[in-house]
Amino acid sequence: MATARTSARSGTNKKTAAPGRPDKPAAKSMAKLVTKSAVRSKAMPPAKPPAKPASKPAAPSATKARPKQRVAISHLREDDFVANGLRAYAQYRDLGIARASHGLAQAHVIRLIGPCNPAEVSKLHFHDVEFQMVYVLSGWVKADLEGHGEILMREGSCWTQPPRIRHKINDYSDNCELLEVILPAEFETVELTAAK
């Protein structure tokens, strides 16, 4: 701070003068400093991290607390699409992720059955989840997300739904298929009554 004030008062250009040495250009001084630092770092062995005290137990790793996950492979079979999911207007193809991850996550392909009936489909609700992602595999869907309004999602579109965000499906194409990934595998869905 004092060096900057001194340089400014003496009329010396701050950019060209070395700090505390108005007679020496900064570029030359900095080059020397860099060189000295480089030489010192080569000559000196790297500093060792301080030893951890023996009295503190190591924190358990989050991955060690979970059961070991298995490989899940799911090939497309039409028979795997069943109407046993959350919505009556959809068929679900379980991809085996919930079982392989011991409930950490679930993933399924949702085939929405057309034509869309807004009286059945457009119900405001939320899911009590940690994470939810939806990817449009084919067709399109109009989703209404709290704070964002209606959004048209087409083939290739992807979105996340934060935990407990209020949302509803307003419309979809007859060929709409979605990939949905949710954490955890088991969660609660709460349907809300629309305010009149």
Delimit the domains of the chain by residue range: 2-43, 63-191
Residue 129 in contact with residue 196, Cβ under 8 Å?
Answer: no
Select from 130, 185, 140, 186 the least CA-distant residue to 160.
130
Whole-angstrom distance, CA of residue 51 vs CA of residue 108: 48
Confidence at residue 59, expressed as pLDDT on a 0 to 100 scale: 58
Confidence at residue 193, expressed as pLDDT on a 0 to 100 scale: 82
0.75 surpassed by pTM: no
Confidence at residue 79, expressed as pLDDT on a 0 to 100 scale: 96
Kindly state the tokens that stand for 9: 């008062």
Pairing verdict, β 167-172 and 90-94: unpaired
> Interior CA angle at 96 toward 92 and 100, to 5°?
155
Task: Give the Å distances, CA to CA, from 68 to 16, 17, 62, 98, 130.
Answer: 61, 62, 12, 13, 20
Whole-angstrom distance, CA of residue 36 vs CA of residue 33: 5
Fold of 63-191: Jelly Rolls (2.60.120)
Q: What is the mean pLDDT of each run of 10 residues along the chain (196 residues)?
A: 38 45 46 39 51 56 76 96 90 98 97 94 96 98 97 98 97 98 96 71
Kindly state the tokens that stand for 5: 């004030």
Confidence at residue 152, expressed as pLDDT on a 0 to 100 scale: 99
- DSSP secondary structure, the chain, as one string: -HHHHHHHHHT--TTTEETTEEEEEHHHHHHHHHHHHHHHHHHSPPPPPPPPPTTSPPPPPHHHHSPPP--------GGG-BS-SS-TTEEEEE-SHHHHTTTS-EEEEEEEPSSP-HHHH---EEEE-SEEEEEEEESEEEEEETTTEEEEEETT-EEE--TT--EEEEEE-TT-EEEEEEESSS-EEEE-PPP-
Confidence at residue 179, expressed as pLDDT on a 0 to 100 scale: 99
